[in-house]
Structure 1
Amino acid sequence: MIIPAWAWAAVIVGLLLVLAFDLWIVDRGEPREFSMRQASFWVGFYVTLAVVFGIVLWATAGPTSAGEFFAGYITEYSLSVDNLFVFYIIMTRFAVPRMYQHKVLLVGILMALVMRGIFIAVGAAALANFSWLFYVFGLFLIYTAVQLVRQHGQEDDVPENAVLRWARRALPHTDDYVGSKVTVKINGKRFVTPMLIVMIAIGTTDLLFALDSIPAIFGLTTDPFIVFTANAFALMGLRQLYFLLGGLLQRLVYLSYGLAFILGFIGVKLILEALHSSHVSWAPEIPIAVSLSVIGVTMVITTVLSLVKSRRDTRKGNEITTSAEAKQG
C-alpha cells in the first residue's frame, strides 16, 4: 500500500494533537489521582479512535489492509497489557506518587513512540532488502514464546537496562520527588529528580518490549504505515488502561501463556510465508482473517480462564481463612 507523504503527516500530527489534548485535560490544575471514570472514558475513546481508523482504512485501502491493521492492533494491545505488569513494578520500585503516575506514563510512552518509529523504519528497510530476516524474526518470536512460558510467575524480577543504570550513575539526582518536576536547582547546581529517572525507566523498558512486538506485527503485515499506526494506537491508550485495570492485572494469571501462543503462532506464520515466497510447495500462506481469528480467540480464552482461576483461588483462600478462624474460635 503506497501512502502519500501528506497522509503520513496528517496521521502523525493528528495523533500528537490528541495526545497533547489528553495531557492538557489531565494535567490542568493541581496534580490529582487518575480516577476510574477518567480512565474508562479515555480507554473507550482511544479504542473507538482505533476502530474508526480501521474502518476508514477499510473504505480507502480495502479489507486486507484493514484486517492487517486490526490484527496488528489487537496483538500490540495484548502485548501492551503484559507490559503493564512491568510498569506497575517500576512504579512501585521508584515509589512514584499515584497523582504523578499518569504523567510518568505519558512521557515514557511518547519516548517509546519516537523510538519505535525509528525501529519500524529500520525494520521495514531491512526486510525489503534482506528477505532472510523473515526466518530470523520467526525463530526469534518462537524463542520469545518459549521464554514467556518458562518465565511465567517471575514477573517481579525486572532487571535494570544499561541506559537506566547509566542515568542513575551519571546524572546528579535528588533522593526525593519535587512535585512533578524532572529537574530542580539546589544551591546553584542543577539536579534531576527521581521523576526523570523513572520516565527513562518506562521509556527504555518499553523499547525493549518492542524487540518482541515489532517482529510480531511484521509477521502480520510488512506495510510500514500499518505497523506504525497499529503500534501508535496501542500505545496511546496504554496509560489509561494502566489505571483502569488496576488490581485486575494481578488476576490475568494466564496472560503470558496466551501471549506465548500468539507469538509462537506468528513466528510459525512468518517462517511458512517466507518458505511460500521461496516457492516451497508444501508451505501454506495463512490469510489475515485466520490470524485475526486466532489472536482474538486466544485473548478471549486466556482472559476468561484467568478470571475463573483467580475467582476460584480467592474463594479457596476465603474458605481456608474461615476454617482457620473457626478453629481458633
Structure 2
Amino acid sequence: MDIPLWIWLTTIGAMVAVLAVDLAIVDHPWSKKSGPREFGMKQAAWWAVFYIGIAVAFGLGVWYFGGTAVAGEYFAGFLTEKSLSVDNLFVFYLIMTAFAVPKRYQHEVLLVGIVIALVMRGAFIAVGAQMINAFSEVFYAFGALLIYTAVKIVRDHIKGTDDEKDFSDSFAVRTVRRFWPVTEEYHGARLTVVQHGRRYVTPMLMVIVAIGVTDLMFAVDSIPAIFGLTQDPYLVFTANAFALLGLRQLYFLLAGLMDRLAYISWGLAAVMVFIGVKMVLHALHENHVPVPEIGIGLSLGVIIGVMTVTVVASLLRFRGGGRADESSGGSGESGESGELASDAPAE
C-alpha cells in the first residue's frame, strides 16, 4: 500500500497516546506513601481484551480501505507476532525471576521493555524494507534464518537450555558491572542512586539492560517472520506494534499458564519453518523459477491451525499431568504453575 506520511504520523501518534493513557490509568492510582500496587488478574484481563479489540478494529479498517488480501496479510502478521510474544514473555519471566524484581515493579519493567522493543523493531523494519526493495535474494537469507531459529527453538526446548540460562550474568550485564558499582537492593523504580558520595546503579537498570538485549534478539527473529507474510512496511509495523502494546497485561494474564503451554515452542517452530519455506519459494519465484507460491489465505489458515492445536494439546497434557500430580502429593509442574499464578494476585 502507498501510505502517506500523515497516516504514518497519525498512527504512531495514536499509539503513543494509547501508551500514555495506559501509563496514566494503570500506573497512576497509588499513593506516594504506599508506592505502586501489584498488577491484578482482573485488571490485566480487561486491558488485554482492550488491546486485542484495538488490533482487531484496526484490521477491520485495513479490510475496509485496503481489501481482503491486505487485511489477511495484516491479521496473519499480527497473529504470528502475538504468538512469538508469548515466548518473549516467558523469557521476560525468567529475567525478572533471576533478578528477583518485586512484583509491584514488574509492570514498569515490562513497559520499558515494550518501548525498547518498539524502537528496535521500527529500526529493523526500516532496514529490512530497504533490503527487500534492493534485491529479492534477501528472502533466501530471511528464510534460512527462520528455519535455523526454528531448529534452535526445538533443540533448546528438548535440552531445557532456556531454564539453565543465567540472565543475571549475561555479557551485557557483566559489562555494566565492570564500569559501575551496583547496589544489592532495589530503590523503588530508580535506576541510579547516590550512596556515600558515589553514584551507583540499581538492579532495576540491570533488568532493563537484560530485557533490552532480549528485545534485540527477538527482533532479529520476528521481523524476518512477518516480512515473509507481507512486504508492506506499514502493515509490518502496525502488526508488530499492536502485538507488543498489550504485552505487559498479557504477561500477568498468562502468568498462571506459562508452564501449562508445554508445546508452545513446537508450535512457534512449525510456524517459522512454514514461513521460512514460503520466503524461499517467493525468492525462487522472483528469480523466474517455476515454483508454486503460498497465498496469504493458506498462510493465515496454517498459523491459526498450528497455534490452536498447540495450545489445546498443551492444556490437555497439563490437565492429565495435573491430575497425576494431585494424586502424588501435588509435586511437579502444577506446583510451579501455582507459584507463577501467585505473581498476579486477583484484585
**Alignment partners' CA distance in 2, 1:313 and 1:242:** 23
TM-score (norm 2): 0.89
Q: What does the per-residue CA deviation read over 1:183-241, in whole Å, with 9 as the maximum and x for residues that have no partner?
A: 22223332221111101211220111111111100100111111111111111111110
Q: CA deviation at 1:159?
A: 5.2
Q: Where does structure 2 lack aligned partners over 5 or more consecutive residues?
A: 331-347
User: Quick one: percent identity of the two aligned structures?
Assistant: 57
8 Å CA contact 1:109–1:202 kept in 2: the answer is no
Residue 245 of structure 1 pairs with residue 254 of structure 2: yes
CA contact (8 A) 1:175 1:193 kept: yes
Distance 1:100 1:214, change over 3 A: same
Partner of 1:151, secondary structure, is helix
* 1:167 positional shift: 2.1
Retained in 2: the 8 A contact 1:254–1:305?
Answer: yes
Q: How does 1:180-259 map to 2 (within 5 A)?
A: 180-259=189-268
Q: What amino acid sits opposite 2:199 in the alignment?
A: R
Deviations 1:11-57 (A, max 9, x none): 11110111111111122123000001110011101100000111111
Q: TM-score, length-normalised on structure 1?
A: 0.94
- The 5 A counterparts of 1:26-65 are 26-28=26-28, 29=30, 30-65=35-70
The CA deviation at 1:64 is 1.5
Matches within 5 A, 1:76-225: 76-152=81-157, 153-158=160-165, 160=167, 161-225=170-234
Which residue is 1:73 aligned to?
Answer: 78
Give, in whole Å, the separation in 1 of the partners of 2:180 and 2:9.
Answer: 35
Tell me, in whole angstroms, the C-alpha distance in 1 between the residues paired with 2:260 and 2:162: 13
> Please, which moves more after superposition, 194-203 or 68-77?
194-203
How far apart in 1 are the matches of 2:276 and 2:262? 23
The residue number in structure 1 matching 2:333 is: none
Mapped to 2, the partners of 1:229 and 1:189 lie a distance apart of 44
Kindly provide the CA deviation profile for residues 52-108 of structure 1, in whole angstroms up to 9, marking residues without a partner as x.
111111111111111111100000000000111111110000000000000001011
Tell me which residue corresponds to 1:19. 19
What is the alpha-carbon distance in structure 1 between the residues aligned to residue 124 and residue 166 of structure 2? Answer: 22
The question of whether the paired residues in 2 share the 8 Å contact of 1:173 and 1:193 is answered with yes
- Between the aligned partners of 1:25 and 1:214, the Cα distance in structure 2 is 31
Q: Conserved in 2, the CA contact under 8 Å of 1:86 and 1:158?
A: no
Partner Cα separation in structure 1 for residue 217 and residue 205 of structure 2: 18
- 1:110-144 CA-to-partner distances (Å, cap 9, x unmatched) read 01111111111011101111211100111111111
**What CA deviation, in whole Å up to 9, does each residue of 1:128-180 have, x standing for no partner?**
11211100111111111111111113321335554333223223321110011
**Contact 1:109-1:203 within 8 A present in 2 as well:** no
Q: 1:168 & 1:230 partners in 2: Cα distance?
A: 36
CA distance in 1, matches of 2:9, 2:205: 29
Unmatched segments (≥5 aa) in structure 1: 323-329
Matched AA of 2:86: V
Q: What CA distance in whole angstroms lies between the structure 1 residues aligned with 2:305 and 2:14? A: 32
CA distance in 1: counterparts of 2:301 and 2:110, whole angstroms: 31
Which moves more between the two structures, 96-105 or 147-156? Answer: 147-156
SS at match of 1:33: coil
SS class of match (2:328): helix
